[in-house]
């Protein structure tokens, strides 16, 4: 049975810094957009969220009568390590070349004490595989983060990281992907229905 993932990026934080694991709240004051988003999503879907407050509170705002799964730690944003909470121009000079490589040549490049794009992809992919296996055939609304959604988009399409991070994923946007099983688990394929849709 097909399993559909409805990825929702959390409400905006208005921060200009790299705020991966920094637990900033989201701005949920745009109730018109939030209501439109809630109405667009499937009524009988399960809801799961990253435990970071900007994602978890956004899930609260759109949950309505849907069943909520426990927050999933492996759906947390990229861990920027020593750069977390800093703007790019605040990263120490000796790390500037590494920071440029992190965005321009993503893959195995990681911030000091943080994660690479490939590590994030493996973390998110394992969580998605487990939740798909446990809830096969359901619609799953996952409220998460820019890097998490791009990591799953990369996994679903097989595109390289540098192509995936070129996509825009706006706050309160929806990206929908379907898993179609074929034979014994985990055989199957992914289909991307749409990316960065603003209901």
Q: Could you tell me the pLDDT band of residue 186, with boundaries at 50, 70 and 90?
A: low
Q: What is the pTM of this model?
A: 0.95
SS3 string, 171-193, reads CCCEEEEEEEECCCCCCEEEEEE
Burial (CB < 10 A; 0-12, 13-18, 19+), residue 40, is middle
Give the tokens for residue 8: 């929702």
Query: With pLDDT > 90 as the criterion, what percentage of the chain qualifies?
Result: 91
DSSP calls for the chain = --EEEEEEEPPP----S--SSS-PPP----HHHHHHHHHHS-TT-EEEE-SSHHHHHHHHHHHTTSEEPPP-GGG-----GGGTT--GGGS-GGGHHHHHHHHHS-SS---TTS--HHHHHHHHHHHHHHHHHHTTTSEEEEEE-HHHHHHHHHHHH---HHHHTTS---TT-EEEEEEEE-SSTT-EEEEEEEEEE--
> For position 160, what pLDDT does the model report?
93
- What are the φ/ψ torsions at residue 174 (nearest 5 degrees)? -120, 135
The answer, yes or no, to whether residue 188 has pLDDT greater than 90, is no
Q: pLDDT digits over 47-94, tens only? A: 999 999 999 999 999 999 999 999 999 999 999 999 999 998 899 898
User: What would the pLDDT profile of 116-137 be if each residue is shown by its tens digit?
Assistant: 999 999 999 999 999 999 998 9
What's the pLDDT at 44? 97
Please give the pLDDT value at position 128: 97
For 90-100, the pLDDT digits (tens) are 998 989 999 99
Tokens of 189: 């394929």
Q: Count the Cβ atoms, other than its own, within 10 Å of residue 45.
A: 19
- Give the C-alpha separation, 195 to 141, whole Å: 14
Rounded to 5 degrees, φ, ψ at 115 are -115, 150
How far, in Å, CA of 129 to CA of 68, rounded?
18
């Amino acid at each position: 049975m097909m399993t559909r993932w409805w990825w929702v990026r959390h409400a905006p934080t208005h921060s200009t810094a790299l705020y991966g694991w920094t637990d900033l709240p989201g701005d949920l004051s745009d109730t018109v957009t939030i209501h439109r988003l809630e109405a667009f999503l499937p009524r009988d879907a399960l809801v799961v969220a990253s435990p970071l407050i900007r994602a978890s509170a956004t899930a609260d705002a759109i949950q309505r009568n849907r069943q909520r799964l426990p927050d999933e730690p492996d759906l947390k944003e990229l861990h920027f390590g020593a750069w977390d909470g800093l703007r790019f121009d605040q990263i120490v000079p000796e790390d500037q070349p590494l920071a440029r490589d992190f965005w321009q040549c993503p893959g195995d490049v990681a911030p000091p004490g943080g994660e690479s794009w490939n590590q994030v992809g493996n973390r998110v992919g394992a969580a998605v595989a487990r939740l798909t296996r446990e809830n096969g055939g359901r619609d799953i609304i996952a409220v998460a983060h820019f890097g998490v959604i791009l990591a799953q988009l990369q996994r679903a399409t097989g595109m390289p990281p540098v192509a995936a991070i070129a996509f825009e994923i706006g706050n309160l946007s929806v990206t929908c992907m379907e898993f179609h099983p074929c034979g014994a688990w985990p055989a199957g394929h992914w289909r991307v229905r749409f990316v960065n849709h603003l209901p």
